[in-house]
Amino acid sequence: MTESISSLTRFLDELSAIESQAVPEIGAARTADDLEALRVRYVGRKSGRLSALSGMVAGMSAADRPAAGQAFNGTHKRLQEQLAAAAARVLSTGAAATPAIDLTMPGRAVWRGARHPVTIVIDEIADIFREIGFTIALGPEAESEWYNFTALNFPPEHPALDMHDTLYLEGGGLLRTHTSPVQIRTLQRYTPPIRVLVPGNVYRRDVFDASHAPMFAQIEGLAVDEGVSFVDLKATLSHFARRFFGAATTRFRPSFFPFTEPSAEMDVECQICHGTGCATCKMLGWVEILGCGMVHPSVLESAGLDAERYTGWAFGMGPGRIAQQRYDIPLLRELYDGDVRVLGALGQ
Ligand code: PHE
């Protein structure tokens, strides 16, 4: 009896010694390989420490065996559970595959976005015109020849229709060379009084120099009503120039466009050389920022309006050129190259 009690007691002591050694080791396991080694060491069928202990049960009295067996099964079950829980933990943290995180590494710098200078200028111009009753209108960049040229009174032999200036699309149509086709679209859609401002991109097969790019932004303006005259044009554009350029001098020059009569251009004193002459203003001391004029009666008629009753004026300006002047950018290209060092420094 003494013999059998002591062998059961030894067995139970041994079991709890194994368990109290195994549990913290399983808890500390970091990888699936660690866990597999622990499984083999403790509960492996052939040489695991529990299997080795199970041999002792055979030498016990029949009375002791049930208690020994129960204790053995309990320990075996708990260790299996510990191993399963540890396996789930190791997998879910990915600790098996990922090396430890280096908390001393410097963080990644956060890039601050900035609005494009041309966008800033367009928004500012739109605000000035919104204050005096203009609304924003948009039109398609892929246009028909009729909207881009014919309805705007371009004669069929006009040089702008030439392949060298216009980008024609395969299967017909073209990329609009100016925002003026939106004049026609607006006149077809609304009845006067009309006052719209149309920002958008336009395309030309231009020489790429200090002030020309193959794609650039334009802003069209159009005002049509009964009794509108050149006085309204000049007063409105002068108001705009004072609001936008402040002290900088502007001037009107007579010009020509097929869709306006009479026509003019507005220049601003070159802000890069302050009128002394530089590459950007081609030594003129002035930079042309918009073309304008009284809407040609045949344009109103193309859009189905009564040219006896209505008159109007229009302008098309280059916000890229204006941004160049505002932000002192000698080459227009810099605005469209997308170099974040340039754009980030200029934008807000
Ligand atoms: N569409 C002309 C251009 O691109 C500008 C313009 C618009 C001139 C409206 C007069 C009236 O050069």
Domain limits, the chain: 2-93, 117-346
- Choose the weakest-confidence range: 37-51, 143-157, 294-308: 37-51
Distance 230 CA to ligand 1 centre (A): 16
Ligand 1 near 291 CB (within 6 A): yes
Rounded to an integer, the average pLDDT of 323-333 is 85
> Which residue is closest in CA terms to ligand 1's atom 10?
292
- Which tokens is 92 given? 């879910």
What pLDDT shows up at residue 57?
84
272 pLDDT more than 60? yes
What pLDDT shows up at residue 212?
66
- pLDDT tens for residues 162-193? 766 899 999 999 999 999 999 999 999 999 99
Who wins on pLDDT, 56 or 18? 18
Q: Which fold has domain 117-346?
A: BirA Bifunctional Protein; domain 2 (3.30.930)
Ligand 1 mutation pick, 153, 175, 180, max ligand atoms within 8 A of CB: 180
- Choose the weakest-confidence range: 20-29, 90-99, 246-255, 283-292: 90-99
Atom of ligand 1 at shortest distance to CA of 291?
8
Distance 317 CA to ligand 1 centre (A): 7
Rounded to an integer, the average pLDDT of 323-339 is 84
What pLDDT shows up at residue 348?
56
Distance 131 CA to ligand 1 centre (A): 23
How many C-beta atoms surround the C-beta of residue 185 within 10 A? 19
Ligand 1 mutation pick, 153, 216, 233, 257, max ligand atoms within 8 A of CB: 257
- Choose the weakest-confidence range: 276-280, 285-289, 339-343: 339-343
311 pLDDT more than 60? yes
- pLDDT tens for residues 21-36? 999 999 888 888 888 8
58 pLDDT more than 60? yes
| Cα 66 to Cα 26: distance, rounded to the nearest angstrom | 28
Ligand 1 near 72 CB (within 6 A): no
262 pLDDT more than 60? yes
What pLDDT shows up at residue 53?
86
98 pLDDT more than 70? no
- pLDDT tens for residues 215-249? 889 999 999 999 999 999 999 999 999 999 988 88
What pLDDT shows up at residue 3?
54
Distance 331 CA to ligand 1 centre (A): 22
> Which residue is closest in CA terms to ligand 1's atom 12?
291
Report residue 290's pLDDT band, with 50, 70 and 90 as the boundaries.
very high
> Which residue is closest in CA terms to ligand 1's atom 4?
178
Q: What is the signed CA dihedral for 118, 120, 122, 127, rounded to 10 degrees? A: -170
Distance 291 CA to ligand 1 centre (A): 5
11 pLDDT more than 60? yes
Distance 298 CA to ligand 1 centre (A): 16
Rounded to an integer, the average pLDDT of 150-164 is 82
> Which residue is closest in CA terms to ligand 1's atom 2?
316
Q: Are 149 and 161 in contact (CB under 8 A)?
A: yes
Q: What is this structure's pTM?
A: 0.69
